[in-house]
Structure 1
Amino acid sequence: MPPFAIADILIVEDSLLHSQLAASLCLELGASEVREARDGQAGLERMRERLPELLLLDLEMPRLDGVQVLQHMARDNLRVPVIVTSGKDYMLISAVEQMGRELGLPILGGLKKPLRKQDLVDLLRRRWGHDALSAQAEDLCSDTEIRLALDSGQIIPYYQPKVTLDNGRLKGAEMLARWNHPDKGIIPPSRFIPVMEACGWVTELTLLMLEQGLKQWQEWARHGIRIPLSVNLSALSLKGDTLVPEIEARLRASRVPARYTIFEITETAVADNLAEAIGIAARLRLSGFGLSIDDFGTGFATLQQLTRFPFTELKIDQSLVTSVCEKPHLEVILNSIIELAQRMQLSTVAEGIETVADLEFMGMRGCSMGQGYHIARPMDAPRFGDWVKQHLAAIQPAQPR
């Protein structure tokens, strides 16, 4: 059975030799149909005729180059998973990948030509079928449905463990919002978080996650499990005078020590309402909470944010973690990030650990913790409790006495 049952792949490549090689690899990997286009304009026409399930896009082409094709795709809402290919250096390929993501396109990654089967397999295995990717093609839920879900307690936390990379000790868990729909099952956050942001409900969501997390922490503590729980905090919540008192009130009611709660703020989101945002962050730290800078390495104001906000933890973005083994220039950036965090006495967490190679590589570079599918997928509370018991039993021999 082929590893990837992809029905329709479009290769946009001006070199006949490279196009034939790519087509041969795709057929080996299970593609039912492979179409080809010799330039960017022809590629766009093929997509308008019928959207493929996967696009392999070269960067250097006549008429329209790969950069222009991505810009047209975004403008015309041609949302196709894309693999960028080029004979140019990895820095250029990475820059185009980032541009495509900023345009809102589902960019799977980039590969250097000539394509190799194992590289293509590794990239598809990492990306194809991920929840975040498959959800991009789905419609957003209506605000009426989401309001009902909030009011009726259908939004629940899933828990993804964070472990040390040297010996696998459990160090915490991130709470990720999921919608437990009575008829449709679990709905991913990509279908409801944007609507909540537009409607001004994200602070309510944060407080709801916090309440459920604190209650769950009490339950786990009775069974000897005491770990920090991380709660996502939107930049849209970093304003006004009510957020910190509401958080503190919930903490007092639960009697959970503040050090067991970490608030994660995305790196690119903390620039608006700067004075208010810094004030809220400082008050949270004064109350004893941890503060994590999330998705580090994806924005342009990285160093400024680290100097402005009193962070205790730095989470290295998944796009950097999963690409560094394949793109040597990113290793320099990664080493600098980890060294910077160590000098600032910040804990480091690698997001998106998906393979043994990811785990070992990040550990060798000095990153202290990791989370990702290789360690464990996000789980509801009962399954997380079971996972913790199994995990502790598995690593017990390695624990120092």
Structure 2
Amino acid sequence: MTTNAKCLLVLDDDEAVARTIGFVAERLGFSVACYDAPEPFFEAVRERNPSHVALDLIMPRMDGIEVLRRLALMHCEAELILTSGMGLKVLESAQTTASERGLNISGVLPKPFQPSVLSELLSRPHTSDPVSRAVTHAPGGHTVQVDELVAAVASREIQFRVQPKLDLGTRLVVGAEILACWPHPQQGIIAPDDFIPVAESSAQLMQGLTRLVLEQSLSWFARSPLLAMGSIAVNLSTRSLSDVTLADHIESVCRAHGVPTDKLILEITESSAMDRTADTFDTLTRLCLKGFRLSVDDFGTGYSSLEQLARLPLSELKIDKSFVIKLHTSTDARKIVDATIGLARSMGLICVAEGVENSAALETLTTLGCNLAQGFYISRPLSGMAFDTWLQRVSACPHFATM
């Protein structure tokens, strides 16, 4: 069903608050309907398919968390604005709950609120835009089968995409992350999150996928202008780390393409970094001895200790995008980002923030002292050829400009 553009539904039992929200929205060109009970509100959601919903978390007949659960079951695509007088902690917790249920969260609005803050939330772009979804998800939610993925790897159907990393001090592109990509002949683009977990179910399949992406990306990188400017980063799964021949294989591929080993950063998840099995630790150590750099990806989502981190020969920490995205909507997320940057600095590591989606996040990360950043605001993942064209264009500019 098509979303009803600029249609706001308000669920709030405080008539004065609902009226204020409606007044601000109407000045922005919204049609507004206010409700003080859940059932008429749900009926309106079904009938009107609103672009926005303002929801008070404290309601006498049904609390806001239950309302969010019902909206998720209804596959509501509206931008949600959560309001409450219970304090920011409660709002942030509800925001996390809603996001985990697949709902679109425009932001939170502690009571009492300023009309200007509400206006800013109502003016944000709609995040469930079909064009944006098409970039990262296969149409129809295609379920990947193991034998299908095996065939795709064997036929080299899996490709790679390149997402640049920006030095926040110089505003120069100094590297890129390599991401796997599956342009399915019938299903369209299948995102890594949809097929990597399938690949990890088989050590042999994951090994084949990792080696294919490495060979493709290093072949491109050897001819790219990026080689003279920086490095590339490739993800290694826990399955890959158990391959005792991995370090020798990566070294031989680099040598075959004339790529120095210190130009390749190998990203491992925080949980993989804490895996103390002999094979995994041998692989990580041998990779460092050969000159490769190690980066801990998705930092902050695992359970590592400082002692464990200190034992590993790391070069980078990457702040998980879930914290970066909420940099300006969650005080806890900002504290975690700030603490991670401080930890990296104290350990002599480069700190990379992923998930940068706007200029405000870029500037805040710069102020906090983060070293590098990547995300859609800088550039979406590009093919190797498109990346080289993009890099030449931005390198010719005196200041960084987004796509």
Whether TM exceeds 0.5 here: the answer is yes
Match of 2:17 in 1: 18
> Which of 165, 170, 174 lines up with 1:171 in the alignment?
174
CA deviation string 1:283-332 (max 9, x = no partner) = 32222222222223344546466345432111223333343334455443
Instruction: Report SS of the residue matched to 1:180.
Output: strand
Q: TM-score, normalised by structure 2?
A: 0.79
Q: What are the equivalent positions in structure 2 for 1:237-316 lying under 5 Å apart? A: 237-267=240-270, 270=273, 276-299=279-302, 301=304, 303=306, 306-307=309-310, 309-316=312-319
Separation of aligned partners in 1, 2:307 and 2:42: 40
After the TM superposition, which of the residue ranges 366-375 and 78-87 deviates more from structure 2?
Answer: 78-87
Q: Does 2:222 align with 1:218?
A: yes
Separation of aligned partners in 2, 1:66 and 1:392: 49
Shift of 1:11: 4.3
Q: Aligned in 2, Cα 1:121/1:226: closer, same or farther, shift over 3 Å?
A: same
Separation of aligned partners in 2, 1:374 and 1:230: 19
CA deviation string 1:156-190 (max 9, x = no partner) = 11111111112211210011222223455544334
CA deviation string 1:32-65 (max 9, x = no partner) = x766654567766777889766654432223432
Shift of 1:203: 3.8
* Unaligned residue ranges in structure 2 (runs of 5+): none
Separation of aligned partners in 2, 1:182 and 1:133: 15
Letter in 2 for 1:205: L
Q: Does 2:110 align with 1:108?
A: no
Q: Does 2:211 align with 1:207?
A: yes
Q: Aligned in 2, Cα 1:69/1:240: closer, same or farther, shift over 3 Å?
A: farther
Separation of aligned partners in 1, 2:268 and 2:26: 43
* Unaligned residue ranges in structure 1 (runs of 5+): none
Shift of 1:252: 3.5
CA deviation string 1:104-136 (max 9, x = no partner) = 5345353123363443146x4384434499739
Contact 1:278 1:308 in 2 (8 A): no
Contact 2:106 2:121 in 1 (8 A): no
Instruction: Report SS of the residue matched to 1:192.
Output: helix
> Which of 87, 90, 96 lines up with 2:88 in the alignment?
90
Contact 2:138 2:187 in 1 (8 A): no
Separation of aligned partners in 1, 2:201 and 2:299: 24
Match of 2:348 in 1: 345
Separation of aligned partners in 1, 2:62 and 2:246: 50
Q: Aligned in 2, Cα 1:269/1:106: closer, same or farther, shift over 3 Å?
A: farther
Contact 1:239 1:273 in 2 (8 A): no
Q: Aligned in 2, Cα 1:60/1:305: closer, same or farther, shift over 3 Å?
A: farther
Separation of aligned partners in 1, 2:227 and 2:122: 42
Q: Does 2:65 align with 1:67?
A: yes
Q: What are the equivalent positions in structure 2 for 1:382-393 lying under 5 Å apart? A: 382-393=385-396
Contact 2:269 2:298 in 1 (8 A): yes
Q: TM-score, normalised by structure 1?
A: 0.79
Separation of aligned partners in 2, 1:135 and 1:16: 41
> Which of 150, 155, 158 lines up with 1:155 in the alignment?
158
Contact 1:70 1:100 in 2 (8 A): yes
Q: Aligned in 2, Cα 1:47/1:278: closer, same or farther, shift over 3 Å?
A: farther
After the TM superposition, which of the residue ranges 7-16 and 343-352 deviates more from structure 2?
Answer: 7-16
Shift of 1:231: 1.1
After the TM superposition, which of the residue ranges 279-288 and 342-351 deviates more from structure 2?
Answer: 279-288
Shift of 1:380: 0.8
Instruction: Report SS of the residue matched to 2:166.
Output: strand
Separation of aligned partners in 1, 2:51 and 2:71: 14
Contact 1:163 1:171 in 2 (8 A): yes
Separation of aligned partners in 2, 1:148 and 1:360: 44
Instruction: Report SS of the residue matched to 2:259.
Output: coil
> Which of 135, 138, 146 lines up with 2:137 in the alignment?
135
Shift of 1:342: 0.5
Q: Aligned in 2, Cα 1:18/1:395: closer, same or farther, shift over 3 Å?
A: same
Shift of 1:374: 2.3
Separation of aligned partners in 2, 1:167 and 1:305: 32
Letter in 2 for 1:162: K
Equivalent pairs, count:
389
After the TM superposition, which of the residue ranges 182-191 and 313-322 deviates more from structure 2?
Answer: 182-191
Separation of aligned partners in 1, 2:399 and 2:56: 49
